[in-house]
Homo-oligomer: A and B are copies of this chain.
Amino acid sequence: MARPASIDQSALIDAATLVAARVGAAGVSIAAVSKAAGVPTGSIYHRVASRDALLAEVWLAANGRFQQMVLPLLSEMANEAGAIECALATPRFARSDHAAASVLSAHRKEEFIRPHAPDEYRQRASEQAAAMREAVANAASRLFPADTRGKEKLAVAVVGIPLGAVRVFLPQAIPPQEIDDTIAAAVRAALRT
């Protein structure tokens, strides 16, 4: 019926994610994405409404894939071993989804969900954040029923420490397999404090 598109929306978002991983949100200009994706600037607006929408999609997609990996582990988490397994999802994610992990480990939501981003995106972003907070809180109440600071401790252990560890390598390199042992040991010790 009509000429087929050379790339679809998700490929466009992937291209933008790659740019973001290398040069940050500010570097995600329409010109840069157009070059990275190999499409003219005009075509980008057939896929997304605006640059702000594209940036938001980048964040939501990266964070969404990360949470897809981590949330089930958080909700099943019942003991120290489960927490360590959850922490190790981060280096695994950094290897399987390098660009998304680079975005998440070295950037902040606010850079991608900008003041002028359509409300729809702000909405989805805060839903994601809430889901994560809730999952951590629930897991903490199981693992540390007595500890009022359990939530913070768990957040540091299963998110902060692993993310900090992979950030040493991203985006230039892929985190080496060896750091998994380091992360596991660090997380175990952190949980026991």
Contact = CB atoms under 8 A, between A and B. Distances in A.
Interface string A100-111: 000000111011
Given A108-B24, A186-B190, A179 B164 contact: no
Which secondary structure dominates where chain A touches chain B?
A: helix
A69 to B, nearest CB: 17
Interface residues of A, number: 43
A178 B157 CA distance: 13
Given A24-B110, A26-B25, A185 B190 contact: yes
Contacts of A185: 189-190, 192-193
Interface of A: 22-27, 106-108, 110-111, 114, 149, 152-153, 155-157, 159-169, 176, 178-179, 181-183, 185-190, 192-193
